[in-house]
Every structure is written in structure tokens, then in C-alpha cells.
Chains A and B, each alone.
Chain A
């Protein structure tokens, strides 16, 4: 157990090191440089460009830049090239905005896909199963931005509520309950959209897991003993089918920072994805690299946690 933890920490550190090199190279070897973002601006004289390059070590060779950048990152001194603000602070602010979207989206995904998947598995081949399958394919295939516009039109015309942004502009001193409902309405659509793909994929997965377990001998034994169908399905089958999903809790961790670029830009939601998108447009390398690095850390931590959870949950696995 301890050796497993030690080994995977070492392995993941090495992976992280290579990820940092690759992402740094991708960004810096791409054509164009950050000092050329605004070549037509008359204030951007050659002296300015030179000062800019000096300020951010852009005149040094690549490996020196690499060392400078990650030194700054680990000491928390990285600043955005656009407004000289601390990158970690900026990311933290945006992260707090994205967090409600993520939490509500994940809750919707997990609470909806289990009942749907289990019911599909129990009534396999029936009309419910087939229509759920078809609908989940439709949800996987629909382009997110198109679906977003359909939902916006639907909600705005039938419920007469504003949905763009995080809250209605200038709502300042309204009663608390009104403010609360306003926030909920604004939160609802983006998180539902974020959850659609997840619901479709996860419910299919739940269904196939349930089907696999329901075909096992011990389920037949349970039936033969004369247990009620509810007990067979929910006590014998579901508990065993749940096993892989426990580990999936680790794998949703990267979604924390992912933040959908497209959904956040449609809804003008000031979250992580939108910040990353704006950073890409402005060639603000520190922000792009930091977001990339943090998300790589979260992916690695997620797989690590899911491995550990597997160890805890499944007694058949011994390392």
C-alpha cells in the first residue's frame, strides 16, 4: 500500500514535469510573440516592446524562461502580462465563479443518470429503454451552443426570466428572496447544459454495469430464494454495480477547472473557461500555462484518488 502510494507519487511527478515542458514548448514555439499582440497601437514603440520583453524575461533563451516561469509559479509570484495582477488570485476569483456551475452540474448529472440507467437496465429492450438510449445519443450528438440557444429561447419566451450573466444587471437592493431566485435562474441553464453530456454518458454506463451484474449467478440465486424484485435489484445488483462509480468521484475532479469555454462565453459567465479563452486571445502566456498546469495536477490527483478509492472499496484488489 505504502509502496504503491510512493511509486505513483514519483510516477505522477515525472509525468507532471513532462507536461510542464510540453505545454511550455507548445505555447512558446507557436508563431508570433506576445509583444506583437497590438502592433498597430502607436503607444507600442520599439522601446516599449524591448522593456516589455526585458520585464518578462522574453529576451532570454527558452530554458531560462522555463525556469523563471516555474520558479515564479511555485513561489506564487506569477503575474498576468495583461494587467500585472497575480495569476493565482485571478484564477481563484474565477474559480469561485465557476464553482457553483460545477457543483450544480455534477449534482444534476449524478442524481439523474442513476435512476434513468437503472430503470433502462431493469426493463431492458422495452420502450423505455429504447427511448432512453435514443435520447441519450441525441444529447451526446447535439452541439452545445445550438442546444444553449434553443433552451435560452424556450426559457425566455415561456418563463420571462433573464438568463444571461451571473445576475440581473442593476438588481442591487431588491428583496433577498428575489435576489436568490434571480441567481438560481441564472445558474440553472448553464449547469443543465453542462450536465447534458454527462447525463447521457453516465446513464449509459450505469445501464451497462447493471446489465452485467444482473447476468451474474448470485442474482439468479437471489431470485431463486424468492426475494422480492426490489431487493434483488437494489440490494444485490445495485451495490455491486456501484463499484466502478465510486472511483469516478476521483475522475470528476479535473472538471473543477475545466469550465466549458463555449457555455461560459454564451452565457457571459465570468468563469475559468472564459478567462482561459480571453487569455488565449490576448496571448497572456502565464495564465494559459498556469491553467494548464493546475488542470494537469487535478487530472493526476483525480486518477490517484480513484486508484486509492478502488483499493478501499474493492477487497479483491491487493497491492
Chain B
């Protein structure tokens, strides 16, 4: 009897819980190695990055190695890999490497140099626009997820509205009324900060409870803002704003960024909602760590995976949007080359000079495809359902 029990105990001996044998990084690398399309995407992405950075150095400056703006009218619409007619060119007009690698356009400009210049534009548009949208998305989603159950008091809303109104009035030349409202707001802020318990009269108390009523929760407010933004048809909105603002590459980046943060906000909020209830957050709170540090050091690293995926795919769509805007003539102003406007200039010569359409088109396709493949690969890898246990 005793022996049996001992045996039983021996059999049912459970291994003490150990840390996983592989680190997360090793696991990640193993899964990534299996996904050939994602590797291809990453490889093209690195190549593109390298081209864009070297292209920036080779095509800028007062005497660039590849001059994207050099007009040679006698050499127009030469096919790719054509040798320049040296006898009709000035010495400084001869292209670098003594060959038109990708031909010339209708003004005799070297398409290869223009493509290199455009690569940098596409890269910065993609990264800056997505950077803006990810920053806004993380901020809004983090607040909505972490502080979502807090309520905003009525007086805070009124105060914000009054401040905006005051700023607006000052801008629109009603400086006196604007300043008055601003001062009133400041007075109220000081009052609520310092004189919280000063007055106990009945009528002020009623007013106070009226003002301190909980109007709307933070979560509801932010999600309603997301809903409002989702109501706009995005390409049409971008087109409207870009067309009304002065043409500049920074406007395009900012507008694309400001109109594409809603998806990230939703992902981040969902992640925060589940992570907030986990034990490690409770432990951090018990240790007295500040909210700011909990959000950015404890929760954020755990919530970053879906953001990374949507950012990678966001870069792809930002590059496509910029190309579409350039195609419609709202992109970067003319002397500067982008892939979109090389293509839109080239479409007039589609039968005489097909390379002007096909080179930028296929380049955009390959770069955007690489971002999409890499992003989808990341999504598969980071999806815990697909992980195998070892």
C-alpha cells in the first residue's frame, strides 16, 4: 500500500515550471527562417533602403554624380542602356558611367538619376507618414485602453472648448474678447487647483456638482473621434487637403499620417484592454510605479506586435497613396522627381517610350509588394496560434 502510493507519487511527479528553452528572439528567427516570402520582402526592403540613402547622396549637391535635373534636349527618349552621342554633348552634360542605364525622358533627363531621387521621396513619405500615424495611434489607443474607464468632468470639456474658442478668436482678430475668455479660463483653472475646498456656500456647491458631473468616459470620447475620422472617404480627404494646401512634400506626409491612425488606435486599445488586467501590471502598480512608466515600459512592449504589422503594411499603402497623388499632379512640385510623376509624365509616350511607364511602375510594385510580404510574414510569425511548442 505504502509502496504503491510512493510509486504513484513518483509517476505523477510534475516537472517544476521552467523558462522556455528558447528565447523569444530565437523562436522569432526560427519562424522567420521558414517564411521564404517574408525573407524576400525583407531583402528587397533593405536593398531599397540602401538605394534610397545612396541615391540621396549621389543626386544632391551642386554637382551631383547622377544629375536628375540635367536637360539634354538632343538626347530625348533614348532607350535604356543607350550610349550617349558624345559629339553632341557638352563635357559636363555627359551622364555618369557614360550610359543611360534606364534611358532618358522627353526632356533628355537621365531616368536612372530621377528614379534614385524618387526612391528617397518614397522612403521618407512612407516612413514619416506612418511614423506620425503610429505615434498618434499609440497615444490615443494607449489612453483609451489604459484610462478608458475614467470619466471626463463637464467643466474640463467646457474649459477645453473655451480655450479653443479663445485661441480661435485671437487668431481671427477679436483679440480683446479672446484674451478676456482666456483670462477667465486661467482664473477657473487656478480656482479649481488651489481653492478646491475654500467655499462651502450652498449655491456654489450646487454649481460645483453641476460642473463636476461625469460627462463622458475617455474611452467613449476617443472611440467616437475614431468613428468620425472613419466617416471620411480617405483618398478623397487627402486629395482635398493636399489640393487646397500649398504643394510640398511635408504636407503630403503630414496629411497621410493624420488620416491613417485609426487602425493603430483600435489595435493598441484592444491590446491595452487585455494587458491592463494582467498580473504584471497589478504588480507594477503595487510597487508604486507611475502610470506613464507602466504604459511605456511595461504594457507597450507587449502591445507592439500588431502595431509593427500594421505599420509595415501602412508604409506600403502610404507609398501607393503618394504615387497616386503625384500621378494626379498633386504630389511633390515638378523639378523634384518622384516615381509617381515620372510615371505620369511617361504615360504620354507609352508607345514610343514604354520604359518611362514600366520602370517606375514595376519599381513601385516591387517595393510595395516587399513591404506587404514582410508585414504579412510578421503577422504570421507574431500570431501565437501558429507557434509550435517545444
Interface, chain A (partner B; CB < 8 A): 11, 14-16, 18-19, 22-23, 26-27, 30-32, 134, 137-138, 140-146, 149-150, 153, 254, 257-258, 261-262, 265, 273, 276-277, 280-281, 283, 288, 291-292, 295-296, 299-300
Contacts and interface: CB of A to CB of B under 8 A. Distances in A.
A154 B350 CA distance: 12
A138 B361 CA distance: 12
B241 A261 contact: no
Contact of B233 (A11, A138, A254): A254
Contact of B343 (A26, A145, A258): A145
A140 to B, nearest CB: 6
A15 B246 CA distance: 30
Given A30-B245, A134-B37, A261-B328, A146 B240 contact: no
A126 to B, nearest CB: 15
Interface of B: 37, 224, 227-228, 230-233, 235-237, 239-241, 243-246, 316, 320, 323-324, 327-328, 340, 343-344, 347, 350, 357, 360-362, 364-365, 368-369, 371-373, 376
A11 B227 CA distance: 10
13 contacts: A14-B224, A22-B228, A26-B237, A31-B246, A137-B37, A138-B365, A143-B368, A146-B343, A146-B357, A262-B328, A295-B236, A299-B230, A299-B231
A277 B239 contact: yes
B343 A300 contact: no
Contacts of B320: 141, 143
Contacts, number: 112
A153 B232 CA distance: 34
Contacts of A276: 236
B133 to A, nearest CB: 18
A291 to B, nearest CB: 7
B361 A146 contact: yes
A261 B237 CA distance: 12
B256 to A, nearest CB: 15
A282 to B, nearest CB: 10
Nearest to A299: B231
B44 to A, nearest CB: 11
Given A134-B37, A296-B232, 19 more contacts: A15-B227, A30-B241, A137-B373, A137-B376, A140-B372, A141-B320, A141-B368, A141-B371, A142-B368, A145-B324, A146-B343, A146-B357, A149-B347, A149-B361, A150-B361, A153-B350, A261-B236, A277-B239, A292-B236
